[in-house]
Chain A
Amino acid sequence: MSGVRVLVGTRKGAFVLTADGKRDKWKVDGPFFSGWEIYHVKGSPVDPNRIYASQSSGWFGQQVQRSNDGGKTWEPTGKEFRYDGTPGTHQWYDGTPHPWEFKRVWHFEPGIDNPDHVYAGIEDAAIFESKDGGASWTELPGLRDHRTGPQWSPGAGGMCLHTIVIDPTNAKRLFVAISAAGAFRSDDGGKSWKTITKGLNSKYIPDPTAEVGHCVHRIALHKSRPDVLFMQKHWDVMRSDNAGDQWHEISGNLPTDFGFVIDVHAHEPETVYVVPITSDQEHFPFEGKLRVYRSRTGGNEWEPLTNGLPQKDCYVNVLRDAMAVDSLDDCGVYFGTTGGQVYASANGGDTWAPIVRDLPAVLSVEVQTLK
């Protein structure tokens, strides 16, 4: 019997939501790590019972939790993230040089080769790797040592490396996004990196087409076409057809092209989902109506999906890691809000229903499709 497991990180703990393939009745387990901020929870594509969770606290720092039984039980694992060598400086808010300082793990990306291999994206921006199931962490310093590194500067949410995407056909190819530095690609397993920002145009930086400084919010791809990337930027929804070497805008008829999440249908590589947010200062849905927009044409032509979503007086946000899809047929789409709702659609977005309504603010949503 197939089923799904939705892994939810919130401001005050983690939750595991499970259902069978019909996805109409849900079991809610949690909170795990009660009271702690859970920035991200993600399972291994190789072994779905292996799950990594980033647990952090302004009081007590960073913890890393690992489960070997699909989230039923957890064990603390390695939590020391030491920059390679002397970290040097990046640019601070006031334009002065500021030393790199570890603050928290934003994102775990388990490897596609074995369940003990996992990447971590951290604040201040850097990428780390573990090959022993999270027991120890080693920086891949080529990214932070990129010649543009001293120019990177934090956005309002901090200088975080929040997105790591692995090419599912080539484990050596990695894409990352950093707020507010931009996007980078490695073709050698993270040793060296190049900026992939050509075509991005950001009016909020002095040179709108600069190599770095773009506030990329999220990147997604479809496993069958890893050279086609979709990006939700601070403003603008973008597409690249050559692994990020060149981008073009696909915002089209969206009511606003600000937002955080973006994802791709599991079976239709030209079907893309975003949740438009009013503006960079107004982090809530446009006109107070919570609408997922779907493009079936790879961008530009978007349709609002509203059935089952609140269409008045809705002022929640949907954060960058808070949308995911399952790979059942029909494709399930899931997202969480800062109001504590996790919505699910079992039919590609045509209709929606809340799985839960009153969790703490949702920071991340990931889905595992269970065979």
Chain B
Amino acid sequence: MIRVELPVGLRVLANLDREVTLEVPPPVTPRAILDALEGRYPVLKGAIRDFITDRRRPLVRFYACRQDLSHEPLDTLLPDAVARGEEPFLVIGAIAGG
């Protein structure tokens, strides 16, 4: 099972706990995780990536295993620790000042 941590705005939106677990068949990539996440929680569609272009929303970040994966292609293979469920895939609302 893949573990995904969500920021508070998305947890409020989908009425979720901080971490959700998802069945994601290999290869485990950000796109595969987002497809599974949006499949289970359709309200999240468009809130993390653009409806049409699939592009990550500008103020959303993807982290895993202490790496910033935000700028990697969505089809990049994620670390084994994420695929094994040992480490979560983190969806982060970027720091916005103030």
A-B contact count (CB 8 A): 42
CA distance in complex: A35, B7 (Å): 11
Interface status of A286 (Cβ within 8 A of chain B): no
Within 8 A of B (CB), among A58-87: 58-63, 76, 79-80, 82
Give the segment of B9-17, B31-39, B81-89 that binds chain A: B9-17
Q: B12 near A34 (CB under 8 angstroms)?
A: yes
Main SS at interface, chain A: loop
CA distance A365 to B43 in the complex (A): 26
Contact status A63-B59, CB under 8 Å: no
* Complex contacts, A79 vs chain B, CB 8 Å: 46
How many chain-B residues does the 8 Å CB contact rule pick out?
A: 18
Q: Is the CB of B43 within 8 A of A60?
A: no
* A60 and B9 contacting across the interface, CB-CB below 8 Å: yes
In whole angstroms, how far apart are the Cα atoms of A79 and B96 in the complex?
24
- Contacts A36-B9, A63-B13, A80-B51 known; A58 to B43 CB distance under 8 Å? no
Most buried by B among A34, A60, A61, A62: A60
The size of the chain A interface, using a CB distance under 8 A, is: 15
Residues of B within 8 A of A (CB): 7-10, 12-13, 43, 46-48, 51-52, 57, 59-60, 93-94, 96
26 contacts between A and B (CB under 8 A): A33-B12, A34-B12, A35-B8, A36-B9, A36-B12, A36-B13, A58-B96, A59-B94, A59-B96, A60-B10, A60-B13, A60-B47, A60-B48, A60-B57, A60-B60, A60-B93, A61-B46, A61-B57, A62-B46, A63-B13, A63-B47, A76-B13, A79-B46, A80-B46, A80-B51, A82-B52
